[in-house]
């Protein structure tokens, strides 16, 4: 790992946080309400508990791992060079596809919300182009960008939620009783799936400097992410009710569309679209960096940036070929892609780390 | 590398629409080239649907109206948005949609679908049904030379709950109610020809005409003025209104300003839903008095309060009866009961659909007359009549 491309624990967490905001805002609240019904606004609490447990497990598994090792290094160490490389190739292929899926998802969302007559390929190409340029640079550049953008993103979300508050109706949020626990857990599944995405960022851990003064914990960031999930679900469900929240693919956006600032300023959704684009861009850049990082470790090539353009081209191809239209894409994003992502982050990654631990490689 | 970044940014700039000439994809519109729409009407036509848009008035510019007919709302609107004299109509600030009675019967779900799906429209757009005429006639009839129809409609929408004559439900509320209760209430209006008292108004005056009970593809019925008031009280959409209460030799005009409805389901020991208890607490204030009534007399005040309870209770009874006869839970009593007693409602052996039309509802209204504002007594009582409370009080003070 080059000495120049070092980031702090905090920077990694901010990068992770800003990146995961993208799928969080995308899937919520429709996916959670579809599974959890009216009680879904409490699901982020359950999702936080599950996410914290996974985080604790991951930390326990890499407790004695040498510093400066990313997940791919750990896999090669724990599974051996061949199995480790197989895991690396598998992860790189999946994440390349996932990057394309993200780009397509961002483009589809722009089309269905603000640019009805827009052109999907243009959005995909522009976003990938920007991501390639950034991902070809240093990890710390992207992390610093996320650090700078984070307060703006949180500020905008907070302001937007304040002005959306008057439309909330308690009737849409109740009744919720102790019997709703099953619904709450069902609704937590898609939220947990997003938060579990921190597993992908373990591939970048090799860049983190050892700062003993900083407590190596991501729990507060997980808590803030869950809080945002709770706010988004609460506000959308409270404003639109259960049936409309399920019917609409971008229900949170519909809430934003209705916001009036002091009865004077209307249609502030452009600000929210900017948030989406920023978070999509950071996540896509991170994915390209992660894939390039994996290839770098697997092949032993020293320059990570060498792998970024080919990955982006493949991701672009995946974005175009993954679905013929929005209907096919919806089917993919409702079950298949989240299921594979969950299998990767909750099963495969901890399993690979556990094997290394059991073999006492770290 | 820097050159590559610069070139990429230049390409991206061309794609954004921030330049009017070079742009590849542009969503940019110049201000003078757009027509900002505030009101949309939808009426049934022989070959489909007639839609119209009403723009906004500017300085030295009257509000313009445009109409078009097409087989569906989407098609008619698509052509219409490009028609306004080279301008492009923008629907993003549409405040209200008015649907003609005939179109509402068959095209309500299409209207809501259009609003939900089309990215320019907002779900908070208020929806009206126009009775006894077309929406286009009403909107064009109420507009004055410098007063656009949108201002007239917006004023009506804002003031209706304050006079107890209605409430404009938004597309969001209507769509949610249709989806969850199978029916929804929509505010009706009608145009009435009245004498033109000032120049800048149209030939028609827009008047509230109660709620319509709508199904996705048909009209279930229309509520009377009294039933509409009852529905507003139960649904918490009521703000205030004045009504005359005759007592003894006087008619008191009372403003009912604060209403607290409490709805509770009552269950038997075996867990069956037996009845619903509806309690309404009203706070009222005296606005004016025709005749003489000494409101220092507590008995008289109780009389006024009883009479008030009777009048408001009547409105509640009427709308509850209408809900039973229509067999539609447009008041969302099931939802209210579920929120009040979620466990018992879930455990009850009966199905709501089977019982609610025969379910007894005990209505009780409690009114309190709070104040008479600045006038304690009419001058006739305190100043002229012998033995008035004011006179007695003055005498006793003098004596002490």
Condensed to tens digits (0 to 9), the pLDDT of residues B143-185 reads 877 778 888 898 999 999 988 899 999 999 999 999 988 999 9
Of B99 and B92, more confident: B99
With beta carbons under 8 A apart, name residues in chain A contacting B124. Answer: 167, 258
- Write out the two tokens for B95: 């405040």
Residues B217 and B229 in one domain: no
Domain spanning A9-358: CATH 3.40.50.10140: no
Within 188-227 of B, beta carbons closer than 8 Å to A belong to none
Residue B132 has pLDDT above 80, yes or no: yes
Render pLDDT for B2-44 as a digit per residue (tens, 0 to 9).
666 666 666 565 555 444 444 544 556 676 777 788 899 999 9
Is residue B14 in a domain? no
Contact B176 A175 (CB under 8 A): no
Q: Which among A18, A42, A327 is positioned nearest to A198, based on CA atoms?
A: A18
Residue B386 has pLDDT above 80, yes or no: no
Instruction: Tell me the percentage of chain B whose pLDDT exceeds 70.
Output: 83
Of B298 and B266, more confident: B266
Q: Residue B129's CB: how many other CB atoms inside 10 A?
A: 25
Residues B273 and B258 in one domain: yes
Of A95 and A215, more confident: A95
**What does the alpha-carbon distance between residue A308 and residue A292 come to, in Å, rounded to a whole number?**
6
> Which band of pLDDT confidence, cut at 50, 70 and 90, is reported for residue B84?
low
With beta carbons under 8 A apart, name residues in chain A contacting B175. Answer: 244
In chain A, DSSP assigns E strands to 260-261, 265-266
How many helices (DSSP H) and strands (DSSP E) are in chain A? Answer: 16, 2
How distant is the Cα of B384 from the closest Cα of chain A, in angstroms? 51
With beta carbons under 8 A apart, name residues in chain A contacting B176. Answer: 172, 240-241, 243-244
Contact A129 B12 (CB under 8 A): yes
**pLDDT of res. A327:** 87
Is residue B4 in a domain? no
- Of A174, A175, A254, which has the smallest distance from its Cβ to B123's Cβ? A254
Residues B205 and B341 in one domain: no
Render pLDDT for A64-87 as a digit per residue (tens, 0 to 9).
888 788 999 999 999 999 999 999
**Residue A242 DSSP class:** H
Contact A257 B122 (CB under 8 A): yes
Contact B180 A242 (CB under 8 A): yes
Q: Which residue of chain A is at minimal alpha-carbon distance from B13?
A: A126
Q: Which among B329, B353, B352 is positioned nearest to B273, based on CA atoms?
A: B352
Contact A239 B172 (CB under 8 A): yes
Residues B359 and B242 in one domain: yes
Of B199, B222, B245, which residue constitutes the final position of a domain? B222
**What does the alpha-carbon distance between residue A335 and residue A27 come to, in Å, rounded to a whole number?**
11
Q: Count Cβ–Cβ pairs < 8 Å, chain A vs chain B.
A: 71
* Contact in structure between A287 and A68 (CB atoms under 8 Å): no
Question: Mean pLDDT, chain A, as a whole number?
Answer: 89
How distant is the Cα of A69 from the closest Cα of chain B, in angstroms? 30
First vs last Cα of chain A: how many Å apart?
19
Of B187, B222, B257, which residue constitutes the final position of a domain? B222
Contact A244 B179 (CB under 8 A): yes
* Contact in structure between B258 and B363 (CB atoms under 8 Å): no
Instruction: Tell me the percentage of chain A whose pLDDT exceeds 90.
Output: 59
Residues B49 and B98 in one domain: yes
Contact B116 A242 (CB under 8 A): no
- Pick from A50-64, B284-298, B316-330: least confident: B284-298
Contact A254 B15 (CB under 8 A): no
Of B181, B201, B222, which residue constitutes the final position of a domain? B222
Is residue B27 in a domain? no
Render pLDDT for A246-265 as a digit per residue (tens, 0 to 9).
988 888 888 888 888 887 78
Please tell me if residue B118 touches chain A, with a CB cutoff of 8 Å.
Answer: yes
Q: Which among B12, B16, B74 is positioned nearest to B40, based on CA atoms?
A: B74
Residues B267 and B190 in one domain: no
Residues B229 and B218 in one domain: no
Residues B202 and B284 in one domain: no
Residue A20 has pLDDT above 80, yes or no: yes
Of A47 and A115, more confident: A47
- Pick from A93-97, A278-282, B299-303, B392-396: least confident: B392-396
Domain at B350, CATH number: 3.30.300.210
Is residue B105 in a domain? yes
**pLDDT of res. B59:** 58
DSSP β-ladder status, B88-90 and B34-45: parallel
**pLDDT of res. B377:** 64
> Which band of pLDDT confidence, cut at 50, 70 and 90, is reported for residue A26?
confident
With beta carbons under 8 A apart, name residues in chain A contacting B339. Answer: 170-171, 174-175
Average pLDDT over residues B321-349: 94
Residue A108 has pLDDT above 70, yes or no: yes
Render pLDDT for B206-263 as a digit per residue (tens, 0 to 9).
999 999 999 988 999 999 999 999 999 999 999 988 989 888 888 999 999 878 889 9
- Pick from A307-316, B24-33, B300-309: least confident: B24-33
**What does the alpha-carbon distance between residue A351 and residue A257 come to, in Å, rounded to a whole number?**
44
What are the domain boundaries of chain A? 9-358
Q: What is the DSSP string of B176-213?
A: HHHHHHS-EEEEEEEEEE----SSSS-SEEEEEEEEEE
Is residue B22 in a domain? no
**pLDDT of res. B19:** 47
- Of B25, B180, B342, which has the smallest distance from its Cβ to A122's Cβ? B25
Residue B46 has pLDDT above 50, yes or no: yes
**pLDDT of res. B85:** 61
Residues B217 and B247 in one domain: no
Residues B350 and B218 in one domain: no
Residues B251 and B214 in one domain: no
Question: Where in the sequence is the domain holding B291, given as residue range(s)?
Answer: 225-400
Residues B151 and B181 in one domain: yes
**What does the alpha-carbon distance between residue A4 and residue A294 come to, in Å, rounded to a whole number?**
19
Q: Which among A27, A98, A25 is positioned nearest to A319, based on CA atoms?
A: A98
> What ipTM does this complex have?
0.82
Residue A231 has pLDDT above 90, yes or no: yes
**Residue of B119, B236, B261 to mutate, testing the A interface (most A Cβ within 10 Å of its Cβ):** B119
Domain count, chain B: 2
With beta carbons under 8 A apart, name residues in chain A contacting B334. Answer: none
Render pLDDT for A164-200 as a digit per residue (tens, 0 to 9).
898 899 989 999 999 999 999 999 999 999 999 999 9
Is residue B349 in a domain? yes
Of B137 and B203, more confident: B137
**pLDDT of res. B383:** 55
How distant is the Cα of A158 from the closest Cα of chain B, in angstroms? 21
> Which band of pLDDT confidence, cut at 50, 70 and 90, is reported for residue B125?
very high
Residue B388 has pLDDT above 80, yes or no: no
- Pick from A231-245, B143-157, B385-399: least confident: B385-399
* Contact in structure between B116 and B61 (CB atoms under 8 Å): no
Residue B271 has pLDDT above 90, yes or no: yes
Within 121-160 of B, beta carbons closer than 8 Å to A belong to 122-124
Is residue B20 in a domain? no
Is residue B172 in a domain? yes
**pLDDT of res. A5:** 81
Question: Mean pLDDT, chain B, as a whole number?
Answer: 85
Residue B349 has pLDDT above 90, yes or no: yes
CA distances from B103 to B185, B186, B213, B310 (A): 16, 14, 15, 38
Count of residues in chain A: 362
Contact B335 A171 (CB under 8 A): yes
Q: Which residue of chain B is at minimal alpha-carbon distance from A259?
A: B124
């Amino acid at each position: 790992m080059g000495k120049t491309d070092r980031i702090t624990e905090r920077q990694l967490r901010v990068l992770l946080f800003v990146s995961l905001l993208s799928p969080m805002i995308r899937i919520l609240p429709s996916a959670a309400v579809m599974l959890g019904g009216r009680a879904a606004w409490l699901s982020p609490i359950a999702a936080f508990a599950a996410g914290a447990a996974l985080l604790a497990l991951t930390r326990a598994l890499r407790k004695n791992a040498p510093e400066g090792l990313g997940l791919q290094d750990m896999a090669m160490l724990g599974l051996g060079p061949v199995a480790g490389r197989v895991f690396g190739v598998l992860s790189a292929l999946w994440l390349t596809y996932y990057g394309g899926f993200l780009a397509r998802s961002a483009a589809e969302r722009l089309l269905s919300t603000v640019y009805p007559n827009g052109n999907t390929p243009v959005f995909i190409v522009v976003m990938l182009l920007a991501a390639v340029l950034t991902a070809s640079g240093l990890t710390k550049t992207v992390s610093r960008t996320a650090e700078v953008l984070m307060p703006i993103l949180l500020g905008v979300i907070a302001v937007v939620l304040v002005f959306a508050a008057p439309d909330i109706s308690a009737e849409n949020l109740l009744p919720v009783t102790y019997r709703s626990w099953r619904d709450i857990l069902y609704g937590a599944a898609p939220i947990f799936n997003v938060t579990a995405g921190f597993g992908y960022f373990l591939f970048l851990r090799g860049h983190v400097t050892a700062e003993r003064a900083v407590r190596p914990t991501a729990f507060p960031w997980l808590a803030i992410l869950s809080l945002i999930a709770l706010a988004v679900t609460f506000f959308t469900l409270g404003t639109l009710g259960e049936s409309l929240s399920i019917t609409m693919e971008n229900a949170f956006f519909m809430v934003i569309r209705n916001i009036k600032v002091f009865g004077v300023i209307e249609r502030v959704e452009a600000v929210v679209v900017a948030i989406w684009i920023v978070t999509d861009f950071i996540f896509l850049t991170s994915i390209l960096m992660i894939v390039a990082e994996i290839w770098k470790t697997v092949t032993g090539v020293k320059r990570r940036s060498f792998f970024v353009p080919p990955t982006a081209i493949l991701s672009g191809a995946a974005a175009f070929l993954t679905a013929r239209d929005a209907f096919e894409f919806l089917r993919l994003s409702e079950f298949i892609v989240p299921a594979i992502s969950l299998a990767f982050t909750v099963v495969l990654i901890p399993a690979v780390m556990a094997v290394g631990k059991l073999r006492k490689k770290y | 590398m820097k050159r590559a970044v610069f070139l990429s940014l230049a390409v991206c700039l061309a794609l954004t629409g921030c330049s009017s000439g070079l742009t590849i994809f542009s969503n940019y519109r110049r201000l003078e080239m757009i027509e900002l729409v505030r009101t949309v009407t939808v009426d049934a036509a022989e070959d489909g649907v007639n839609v119209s848009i009403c723009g906004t008035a500017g300085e030295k510019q009257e509000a313009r109206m445009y109409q078009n007919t097409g087989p569906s709302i989407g098609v008619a609107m698509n052509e219409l948005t490009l028609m306004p004299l080279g301008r492009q109509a923008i629907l993003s600030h549409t405040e209200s949609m008015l649907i003609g009675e005939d179109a509402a019967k068959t095209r309500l779900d299409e209207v809501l679908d259009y609003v939900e799906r089309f990215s320019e429209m907002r779900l908070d757009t208020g929806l009206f049904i126009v009775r006894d005429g077309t929406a286009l006639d009403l909107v064009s009839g109420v507009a004055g030379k410098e007063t656009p129809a949108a201002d007239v409609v917006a004023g009506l929408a804002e003031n209706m709950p304050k006079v107890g004559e209605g409430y404009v439900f938004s597309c969001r509320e209507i769509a949610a109610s249709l989806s969850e209760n199978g029916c929804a209430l929509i505010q009706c209006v009608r145009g009435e020809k009245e004498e033109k008292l000032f120049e800048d108004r149209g030939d028609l005056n827009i008047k509230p005409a109660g709620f319509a009970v709508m199904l996705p593809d048909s009209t279930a019925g229309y509520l009377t003025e009294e039933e509409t008031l009852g529905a507003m009280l139960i649904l918490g959409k009521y703000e205030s209104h004045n009504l005359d209460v005759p007592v003894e030799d006087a008619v008191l005009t009372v403003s009912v300003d604060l209403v607290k409805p409490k709805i509770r389901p009552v269950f038997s020991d075996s867990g069956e839903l037996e009845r619903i208890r509806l309690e309404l607490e009203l706070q009222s204030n005296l606005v004016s008095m025709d005749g003489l009534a000494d409101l220092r007399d507590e008995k008289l005040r109780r009389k006024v309060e009883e009479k008030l309870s009777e009048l408001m209770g009547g409105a509640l009874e009427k709308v509850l009866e209408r809900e039973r006869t229509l067999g539609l839970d447009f008041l969302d009593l099931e939802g209210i009961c579920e929120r009040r007693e979620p466990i018992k409602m879930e455990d009850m052996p009966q199905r709501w659909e089977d019982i609610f039309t025969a379910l007894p509802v005990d209505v009780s209204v409690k009114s309190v007359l709070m104040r008479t504002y600045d006038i304690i007594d009419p001058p006739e009582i305190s100043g002229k009549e012998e033995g008035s409370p004011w006179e007695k009080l003055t005498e006793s003070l003098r004596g002490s």
